[in-house]
């Protein structure tokens, strides 16, 4: 069975969606949920579902990304993951770390890439007056938010939308898109998922 590790930084709603779908699809098994924040609520949510967890506080390493990643690799490699899913993981990873998981590391980003890489994606879509927004699952490469697209989901931007209302609409689609992409990826199928 394909072994999947998930990296989170916060609530882990995407992580939960992946766990639930893996339990149903049964083609992959979650072997670790790890976070750069020991207080990430997602860690308790994963533990409550019986998934091993680990936390490596990036603040203990100052700005030394390589040292943080070396510490993160200890529990990560011990779990022997085949695939690494970034799910609300808010740390930029060095090319050294990315290359270690090249071709088997996924990320979900709350915009229709290549539109709006980086932060504040919903605010930027609203300011631009976009008619639609959405999310993208992509393979992680050393350049932030720019790897091959494995899936996209589109939602309408509605009159009166705020960052919060648009973000909630996109998040609901993230929870559908990421599991659908992982199901294909586990089977070696790189055909992009397009939702709705």
Q: Which residues are catalytic?
A: 109
Nearer to ligand GRF, 19 or 28 (CB): 19
Asked if 88 interacts with ligand GRF (CB under 6 A), we say yes
We find the least distance from the C-beta atom of residue 128 to ligand GRF, in angstroms, to be 18
Give the span between the Cα atoms of 195 and 177, in whole angstroms.
Answer: 7
- Please report how the helices 41-48 and 13-25 are oriented relative to each other, as an axis angle in degrees rounded to 10: 20
Q: Is 79 exposed, middle or buried (0-12, 13-18, 19+ CB in 10 A)?
A: middle
Contact pick of 81, 110, 134, 151 for ligand GRF (by CB under 6 A): 110
CB of 100 to ligand GRF, least distance (A): 21
Selected from 3, 10, 186, 195, the binder of ligand GRF by CB under 6 A is 10
Residue 62 CB-density burial (10 A; 0-12 exposed, 13-18 middle, 19+ buried): exposed
**Binding piece for ligand GRF, criterion CB under 6 A, among 6-14, 57-65, 93-101, 188-196:** 6-14
- Closest alpha carbon to 175 in 11, 3, 1: 11
Contacts with ligand GRF, residue ranges (CB under 6 A): 8, 10-15, 87-88, 108-110, 135, 171, 174
């Amino acid at each position: 069975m394909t072994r999947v590790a998930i990296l989170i930084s916060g609530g882990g709603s995407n992580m939960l969606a992946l766990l639930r779908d893996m339990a149903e699809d049964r083609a992959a098994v979650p072997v670790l949920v790890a976070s750069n924040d020991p207080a990430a609520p997602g860690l308790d949510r994963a533990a409550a579902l019986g998934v091993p967890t680990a936390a490596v506080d990036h603040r203990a390493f100052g700005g030394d990304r390589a040292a943080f990643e070396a510490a993160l690799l200890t529990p990560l490699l011990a779990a022997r993951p085949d695939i690494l899913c970034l799910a609300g993981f808010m740390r930029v990873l060095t090319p050294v770390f990315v290359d270690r998981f090249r071709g088997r590391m996924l990320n979900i980003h709350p915009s229709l890439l290549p539109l709006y890489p980086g932060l504040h994606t919903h605010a930027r879509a609203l300011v631009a007056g976009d008619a639609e927004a959405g999310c993208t699952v992509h393979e992680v490469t050393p350049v932030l938010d720019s790897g091959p697209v494995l899936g996209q989901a589109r939602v309408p931007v509605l009159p009166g939308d705020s960052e919060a209302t648009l973000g909630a609409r996109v998040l609901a689609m993230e929870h559908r898109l990421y599991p659908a992409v992982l199901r294909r990826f586990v089977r070696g199928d790189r055909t992009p998922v397009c939702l709705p």
